[in-house]
Amino acid sequence: MAVEILDPKPETKIADLCAAPGGKTICLFGYYDCLEGLVVWFAL
């Protein structure tokens, strides 16, 4: 599973997470994950 540390900047393309299956992006207060083609935010 690809894990990428991401700066929470507005220009970040969250949709890019769905490019790879199981893509997940960890941020400071949680992470974005691609679930059934939708990007979902999970707070840590």
Distance CA 35, CA 10 (A): 21
Calculated CA dihedral for residues 16, 21, 26, 27, nearest 10 degrees: 30
Beta carbons of 12 and 26 less than 8 angstroms apart: no
Which sequence spans correspond to the domains of the chain? 3-43
Lookup: tokens for 12 = 């970040």
Residue 10: predicted pLDDT? 45
Residue 42 has pLDDT above 60, yes or no: yes
* Per-residue pLDDT tens digits for 4-41: 655 555 445 555 555 545 556 656 677 667 666 666 77
Distance CA 6, CA 19 (A): 16
